[in-house]
Structure formats: C-alpha cells, structure tokens
Amino acid sequence: IVQWTPFFQTYKKQRYPWVQLAGHQGNFKAGPDQGTILKKLCVKEEKCFKVLMKDVLRPYVPEYKGLVASDDGECSYIQLQDLLGDFVSPCVMDCKIGVRTYLEEELAKAKEKPKLRKDMYDKMCQIDSNAPTEEEHRMKGVTKPRYMVWRETISSTATLGFRIEGIRKGDGTSSKDFKTTKSKEQISRAFQDFTEGFPHAVPKYIQRLKAIKATLETSQFFSNHEVIGSSLLFVHDRFNANVWLIDFAKTIKLPEEVKITHSSKWKVGNHEDGYLIGVNNLISIFMTMLEQ
Ligand code: ATP
Ligand code: MG
Ligand code: MG
C-alpha cells in the first residue's frame, strides 16, 4: 500500500493532496498556474505533446502548456493540465497499455551482451519457481532479454495488452500491488473494487473508451507512432468519470517505411505495440461488469 502525497494542489480555491500512481516521486511538482502540474522534461515526450496538441487526440490528453525551468535553472519541466483538477476526492487508476512495456531498441541493447543474471533469476523464482527452464535453474541465472520478455507474461500485459499500475480509491486507500494480476476475472474484480459505490462510472468509462478507440483509428499521431509504456488514466468521483491518455516518454515515431496495426501480434522487430488490443480488452471487461 502506497500513500504518496508529493505535493498539495490548489484548484478553484480547494486545496487537495495530489495523487501520483506511477513513476518517481521527484518527477512531479505543482505547476505555476492553477490546475497544472510539472513533469520533468523528457525530450521525446515533449515532442509528442507538441504534435498531440494539433492532432484529433487533443481532447483525450492533458493539455500541454509549454516548458518551465526549475527554480535553480538545473532542469526543465513540461507543464500539463492537472487531470484531477475538476474532481472532488477523485478515485484514480493508471492502466499501462500495450503488449510490451519496453522499446525494440531496449530489447536489442539487452541482447548485445547477454550475460547470465543471478538477480533476475532470483526475481523470477520469487514470483514463479517453475518459470526458469531446467538449464536456467542449473546455471542459477537468466539473460536480461529473456527476463524482459518473461516479465510481461506475469501480469496481463502480454495477453490482454494492458496492466493495472496503480489504483487509488476515494477513501484514500491505494495499491500498486498488481504485478501478477493477470486473468480477466482478476482484472474485473479490481475494476469492481475501484468503481464500487460509483455505479455511474462504468458506463461513462465505456463511452469514453469507445470514443478514444474511434479517435485513435483516425489519428495521424497514432498511425505513425509506436506507443510504449503509455497509460490510460481513469478518474471518477461522485458525479463524473473520465479517461485520458498520459505518459509519452517512450512513444517514438516509427521509421518511415514501417506501418503498424496496433492490434496484430508483436514479433521481435515488427514494432507492433498492441495498443488497440489493450483498449478493446478494457472495453470488453467494463462491458461484462454491466451485465452482472
Ligand atoms: P512511469 O514511466 O513509471 O509510468 P512517469 O514518470 O513517466 O512514470 P507518468 O506515468 O506520466 O510518469 O505519471 C505518473 C503518475 O502521475 C500517473 O500514474 C498519474 O497518477 C499521475 N499523472 C501524470 N500525469 C498527470 C496529469 N496530467 N494529471 C493528473 N495526474 C497525472
Ligand atoms: Mg506512466
Ligand atoms: Mg513513463
């Protein structure tokens, strides 16, 4: 259970603890303008936000308000709309989308000098002592690329195209304990817990996810980017519910000659991210919740 309050935010004269479900705590602080936050600059991400402000996806991402230097001038931040600003005691969920959360180039780099790693072998055994092969057990080590590929199979990432990163409920309790939440049933239970007491949220989430899906299919940005490690941020309170695309630090422009569907199977080198697999599964899981 995490209880992070990196800073207090003020919006419409209300002061509230800001909620951060992923990433390093030092990466965020309150923005200079009301209703904004600052995230440490990542050049790739800033590039994405600039393009997104001119794309059909604009209504589905936090508004980008430009660069801000830190007080000591040491580093820069991007200023973003605080998506929690219009909510009262918001419930927040971060779902990381895609069938993998590393870039092709990160996997390629890990393959360069594939040393046997005991630390990764130990981590693997801790989660599933049957995961290593006989040979890996004998060597008491696994290679990093092997570990990277395996790690995506312990959560729902590899199979459902998304995983839950963190949830914070309106009562202030929060959890990041979803590393092995994998099956549709487990996910559905977590979603049920997240939306419990807020029945209006589920149909609103479904509607918004469908709009996101339809917009992605016409987006120029989406057609020429590989979207890795990006999340959908779900936010609801007593009255409202909404979803936005966030975190483009690992979203990169595809090479000119490469086209991807975002929904076909990933094979090493084909750049497929499985983003639409994740969105489709999210829609279908929320829809089965309506039937119950
Ligand atoms: P990681 O790569 O580990 O996911 P990161 O440092 O790239 O983390 P983000 O994923 O962009 O950071 O954001 C981390 C968390 O901060 C999100 O899960 C969400 O809770 C919160 N957050 C990010 N952007 C916003 C925003 N615009 N409005 C409100 N909350 C936000
Ligand atoms: Mg993130
Ligand atoms: Mg990130």
- Looking at residue 129, its pLDDT comes to 96
Q: Find how far residue 36's CA is from the centre of its chain.
A: 20
242-253, pLDDT tens digit by residue? 999 999 999 999
**292 alpha carbon to ligand 3 midpoint, in Å?**
34
What is the C-alpha separation between 164 and 177, in angstroms, rounded?
A: 9
pTM of this structure: 0.95
- Looking at residue 24, its pLDDT comes to 86
Closest CA relative to residue 230, chosen from 48, 51, 108: 48
What is the C-alpha separation between 156 and 101, in angstroms, rounded?
A: 12
**Is the distance from the beta carbon of residue 45 to the nearest atom of ligand 1 less than 6 Å?**
no
Atom of ligand 1 nearest to the CA of 249: 7
> Would you state the structure tokens that stand for residue 235, as one six-digit string?
């936010």
ipTM confidence: 0.98
236-278, pLDDT tens digit by residue? 999 999 999 999 999 999 999 999 999 999 999 999 999 999 9
121-158, pLDDT tens digit by residue? 999 999 999 999 999 999 999 999 999 999 999 999 99
Q: What is the mean pLDDT of the chain?
A: 94
Best residue for ligand 1 mutational test, from 8, 11, 247, 250 (most atoms within 8 Å of Cβ): 247
Atom of ligand 1 nearest to the CA of 166: 18
What is the C-alpha separation between 7 and 25, in angstroms, rounded?
A: 10
